[in-house]
Structure 1
Amino acid sequence: MQELLYLTHRIPYPPNKGDKIRSFHLLRHLSERYRVYLGTFIDTEEDWQYEDEVRKYCQEACFVRLHPFSARVKSLLALSGRDPLTLSYYRNAKLMQWIRSVCAREPIRDIVVFSSAMAQYVDHLPDCRRIIDFVDVDSDKWRQYASSKSWPLSWVYQREARYLLNYEKEIARKFNFSTFVSEKEAGLFRQMAPDSAEKTTFFNNGVDTSYFSPGHSYPNPYPTGKRVLVFTGAMDYWANVDAVTWFANLVFPAIRASQPDVEFHIVGANPTKQVQGLANLPGICVTGAVKDIRPYLMHAAVAVAPLRIARGIQNKVLEAMAMLKPVVVSDQAMEGIHAIPGRELIVAKDVDAFIEQILILLASDKQSSIGQQARDRILRDYTWSGSLSRFDALLSTPYTG
């Protein structure tokens, strides 16, 4: 087996949200083919318990503590320069020293970088095959944030969008390949960085369809006699906070007025004070972290993903589809997912459409039909084995240095 250096901006475990799902499955896949040297950050105390689990997939690993508050201060001090703040946030001398040590003593010829922030550690190593998984076009996400915030945050976010795009384009030119989470995301970046278009590709996120399977038996976590609309996700992530706040205040009251037995459950770790406050509204429950998301999906009537800011593929949508759930999504949450609207999921463009489509689902027998076709789509197009075969093709291309 050959040696491979793998860098991630957050420990790739547990695979229970967004970036960790993708980075973990990539790590596990790489470990079957390479001796993996992993460099990563840990930004929450609870994640240190997973250090030994992650080491099982690695020849060697370096875990670096990242203090979010200190990192934010350090990044803000970089406002006077021309680098994206993201680079300062994740810049660390200990990790750089470890990477130099590994590359000096091991025959590293392949490097995989997960997220643009980690490219700074290897942009000086041109003699290796370097692949960056940008996942999303993060610069465009900052642009979206800027449009929804007032000054001074709007200015900071606009600055980050501009400088991060310049950096993304620079890295794409230097590296052998750039990958994204969907064909649409890759297409957007090709437009932004046409010089690197031929080296830009994608591999979809997948779903562990054995884990997210309706064939298992799950206890019902909801109150008896209630039909539930469920939203799942990390509830300290601003896009999720915005989505559930919008839905709870503008969509759900009309559904509740028409169907008093319906509840809206917001399921996910670290709910902000704003999210916690939604539990004061009639029929809304905020669970916080749960040990297993699957019972909440299995016993919900409908899953919703009313995201107004989104990039890439939404794992929450794929997981609900794998569990036979009809999912009602916004246009933004639909991006990057190849599914047939009206047959495999439901797309709603505004408040009235969300209300109408959810009430139709609650009053009809379409739920099981849409749910089955949704899972069939996942089994066809969104398994990890199928998705990661595209990544294997990049690592198997001839490399001459």
Structure 2
Amino acid sequence: MHSDRLNILFVSQMPASPPRIGAQARMHGLMTELAQRHDLTAVMLVDDEHDIEECRTAMQAYCRKVVLVRNPFGRDGMPKRLLQLRSLVSPLSFERLRITADVVRQTLDDLLGSTRFDVVNLEFTFLGHYELRKAPAGEKLPVLVVDSHNIDYDLARQYAQSGDSLFRRLYSEVNWRKLRKEELGTYRDADGVYLCSAADERRLLEEVPEARTAVIPNAADIEFYRPRADGPKPDGRTVVFFGLLSYAPNVDGVIHFINDIWPRIAASHPDARCKIIGGSPPSALLALAGPRIEFTGFVPDLRPHLAEAAVVVVPLRLGGGTRLKIVEAMAMGKAIVSTTLGAEGIEAVPDRNIMIADDVESFAARVSGLLGDADRAADLGRSARHLAESKYAWSSAARALEGFYHTRLAISCGTDGKAPTLRQQQRCAEL
């Protein structure tokens, strides 16, 4: 059974490749591995920020068929703000409004009506209101499996409590409740849900105890991200943070680090410098740049920047899932200092594979200690690399996902001890 070649449709509100943010890295990593043993088709929306032909070319390298749909609502700036205002008086969340369009529905209907898939893999839940269990006449329906990158309504609820402006907090307070209803509805309807961490799995099962779940952790391309003998060496003074800088948890974490933690590090290490790597930084972040604080913007290759870093920091206070930045930094053999939340879902042993600190003084002290002890930083980095090799390769994650697909295909009638959903009863009648 596990050797059967599957026909899998991936559906997402963003293209998987080229991977430039964490969500894309997860999709790209799993899909490229699965494509070695299965037939992949992709239907994905493309916002204006992406080059649609670049995405198409990148994804055609591993997908049998790629259908990219330009998102009519995928614009930043004023159009996004107007849509957010519209969402305040709509029963739908902003996230659902921005991907609800006739062209999306028609594209999915046409493909599902003409091609039979074994599995429809939905990324996130925002497209969950479309009818994704369809097949040509006389063919069996596919199983629907959802990749929960985060419990998104929980993130929105966190923003409501800690937003940087009154408007953002009020907006999030209204939006997260609608998002919760939509997200949980998609989880309940799915044949299976896989999550990035055991903590997110517990959160989901508290809300939807009947859900069939699996943990498929984030991982890294451990051959691409690896220490190289001919690469730059740690310089002993550079502290690096990397991640998409339009993402609220990253923005909050960087502001917290620069304002509250960095001054303590800089005082004890006058030659230290802070490098913040990531695209789309808001003006509030750029205003924090200085002689020893650099914002690089997007970089096409993280590896040389990580190679020369003395320490990688993950000072996150908001978020869910697991951080790609941690597993990629581990694969590069870097010493990492993170908050407990930042490292959630990573099976790392504090002070062996990673350092954990949740208050300002402890975080600064751990970073400063590593800047002053290159041997300790190297030991921590080697241990982190070993952990990445043993637990966080995309090949292992994809094999686990493949097994989950086969289990969902085989056990879709409630034979795993849980009552079948109405959707599963319908599928069982066809088997």
Describe the shift of the 1:193–1:76 C-alpha distance in structure 2 as closer, same or farther (beyond 3 A): farther
Farther off after superposition, 9-18 or 40-49 = 40-49
Q: Aligned residue for 1:215?
A: 228
Preserved CA contact (<8 Å) 2:337 2:367:
yes
TM superposition shift of 1:380: 1.3
SS in 2 for 1:116: coil
Q: Aligned residue for 1:68?
A: 75
For 1:131, give the aligned amino acid: V
Describe the shift of the 1:238–1:78 C-alpha distance in structure 2 as closer, same or farther (beyond 3 A): closer
Farther off after superposition, 120-129 or 367-376 = 120-129
Task: Tell me the matched-pair count.
Answer: 395
Alignment of 1:174-185 (within 5 A): 174-185=189-200
Alignment of 1:364-383 (within 5 A): 364=373, 365-383=375-393
For 2:225, give the aligned amino acid: F
Following superposition, which runs of at least 4 residues in structure 1 exceed 6 angstroms of deviation? Answer: none
Q: Aligned residue for 1:58?
A: 63
TM superposition shift of 1:320: 1.1
SS in 1 for 2:341: helix
SS in 1 for 2:29: helix
Q: Aligned residue for 1:318?
A: 327
Please give the per-residue CA displacement for 1:7-66, whole angstroms capped at 9, x wherever unaligned.
011110112321000111222233233332211111144432231221232232221222
Preserved CA contact (<8 Å) 1:228 1:301:
yes
Describe the shift of the 1:120–1:190 C-alpha distance in structure 2 as closer, same or farther (beyond 3 A): same
Farther off after superposition, 22-31 or 176-185 = 22-31
What is the rounded CA distance, in whole Å, between the counterparts of 1:326 and 1:266 in structure 2? 16
TM superposition shift of 1:231: 0.6
Q: Aligned residue for 1:157?
A: 172
What is the rounded CA distance, in whole Å, between the counterparts of 1:317 and 1:270 in structure 2? 20
Q: Aligned residue for 1:79?
A: 88
What is the rounded CA distance, in whole Å, between the counterparts of 1:171 and 1:375 in structure 2? 37
Q: 1:240 aligns with which of 243, 250, 273?
A: 250
Output the TM-score relative to the length of structure 1.
0.93
SS in 1 for 2:320: coil
Preserved CA contact (<8 Å) 1:123 1:171:
no
What is the rounded CA distance, in whole Å, between the counterparts of 2:319 and 2:266 in structure 1? 27
For 2:152, give the aligned amino acid: D
Alignment of 1:233-272 (within 5 A): 233-272=243-282
Residue 202 (str. 1) matches residue 215 (str. 2): yes
For 1:27, give the aligned amino acid: M
SS in 2 for 1:396: helix
Q: 2:287 aligns with which of 271, 277, 283?
A: 277
Residue 113 (str. 1) matches residue 122 (str. 2): yes
Residue 188 (str. 1) matches residue 203 (str. 2): yes
Describe the shift of the 1:123–1:168 C-alpha distance in structure 2 as closer, same or farther (beyond 3 A): farther
Q: Aligned residue for 1:90?
A: 99
Please give the per-residue CA displacement for 1:192-234, whole angstroms capped at 9, x wherever unaligned.
22232xx0221001111111110352247x9xx7711111111
Farther off after superposition, 287-296 or 165-174 = 165-174
For 2:261, give the aligned amino acid: V
Please give the per-residue CA displacement for 1:151-204, whole angstroms capped at 9, x wherever unaligned.
3322321222222222222222211101111112111111122232xx022100
For 2:22, give the aligned amino acid: G
TM superposition shift of 1:120: 1.9
Alignment of 1:295-306 (within 5 A): 295-306=304-315
Q: Aligned residue for 1:147?
A: 161
Q: Aligned residue for 2:34?
A: 30
What is the rounded CA distance, in whole Å, between the counterparts of 1:159 and 1:125 in structure 2? 33
Q: Which has the higher helix share?
A: 1
For 1:129, give the aligned amino acid: V
Residue 20 (str. 1) matches residue 24 (str. 2): yes
What residue ranges of structure 2 are gaps of 5+ in the alignment? 136-140, 413-427
For 1:360, give the aligned amino acid: G
Preserved CA contact (<8 Å) 1:71 1:88:
no
TM superposition shift of 1:71: 5.4
SS in 2 for 1:214: coil
Q: Aligned residue for 1:333?
A: 342
What is the rounded CA distance, in whole Å, between the counterparts of 2:154 and 2:45 in structure 1? 24
Q: Aligned residue for 2:415?
A: none
Farther off after superposition, 55-64 or 387-396 = 55-64
Preserved CA contact (<8 Å) 1:62 1:95:
no
SS in 1 for 2:275: strand
What residue ranges of structure 1 are gaps of 5+ in the alignment? none
Describe the shift of the 1:285–1:71 C-alpha distance in structure 2 as closer, same or farther (beyond 3 A): closer
What is the rounded CA distance, in whole Å, between the counterparts of 2:180 and 2:21 in structure 1? 25
For 1:313, give the aligned amino acid: T
